[in-house]
Chain A
Amino acid sequence: GQSLEQPSEVTAVEGAIVQINCTYQTSGFYGLSWYQQHDGGAPTFLSYNALDGLEETGRFSSFLSRSDSYGYLLLQELQMKDSASYFCAVPDNYGQNFVFGPGTRLSVLP
């Protein structure tokens, strides 16, 4: 089966850069996704990596190293609105459903 690990909490100040790590164990690999969830809201898709390297989408970037079973989400120029929980997720062995990590709660301080 799949299992994912993330830090439970990260704190940073406005304007800074923060990295949220995710390590995974999977029998097969179909990609690593990242989701953002604000308190009281629904998770929303941020990024997806199928191949090694960095994917950039505005202030957010996501990195994957398949050989290390490791990925991270990089948030630059942090804003107060980035305070949220961030989840990494991988598809299961058959690529038919998704397993989520426990989530990292990011607090952005003024």
Chain B
Amino acid sequence: DAGITQSPRYKITETGRQVTLMCHQTWSHSYMFWYRQDLGHGLRLIYYSAAADITDKGEVPDGYVVSRSKTENFPLTLESATRSQTSVYFCASSDKVRELFFGEGSRLTVL
């Protein structure tokens, strides 16, 4: 089915473990984004990508790594998870400045 999908939808991990959140889109959109959403902070940009092999930092990139070897995939890795990274993570894609399409979110809990 066309769209943008995230996996896993729910994840519980422990401090210090590596976690990868996957994002896949079928529209061939050039731009892809990772946001985190916490109560009281709205949506904050972690990383974004303008095309395959082009990535750039957003507002809160520390502790995260991204890659984009293929246009349709944009995984987000937490190299050593911390409790402060407990959040809801949204992936989004766009081919125009005006509209973002969001995935359903990945709810991560770090114990």
By a beta-carbon cutoff of 8 Å, the part of chain A in contact with chain B is 30-31, 33, 35, 41-45, 48, 50, 87, 89, 91, 95-103
Chain B 26-49, CB-CB to A under 8 Å as 1, else 0, gives 000001010100000111110010
Give the interface size bracket for B toward A: 20 to 34
Q: Taking the complex as formed, is B90 at the interface, i.e. its CB lies under 8 A from any CB of chain A?
A: yes
Question: Could you tell me the distance between the alpha carbons of A91 and B48 in the complex, rounded to whole angstroms?
Answer: 12
Nearest CB of chain A from residue B64's CB, rounded to whole Å: 15
User: Do A45 and B101 form a contact, CB below 8 Å, given A97-B33, A97-B58, A98-B33?
Assistant: yes
- 15 further A-B contacts with Cβ under 8 Å, apart from A87-B43, A98-B33, A100-B44, are A30-B97, A35-B100, A42-B103, A43-B90, A43-B102, A45-B99, A50-B98, A95-B97, A96-B48, A97-B31, A97-B33, A97-B48, A100-B42, A100-B43, A102-B41
Contacts of A42 in B (CB 8 A): 90, 102-105
Q: Does B50 contact A (CB under 8 A)?
A: yes
Q: Which of A91, A95, A98 has the most CB of B within 10 A?
A: A98
Question: Cα distance A38–B105 when bound, in Å?
Answer: 13
Taking the closest CB of chain B, its distance from the CB of A1, in whole angstroms, is 9
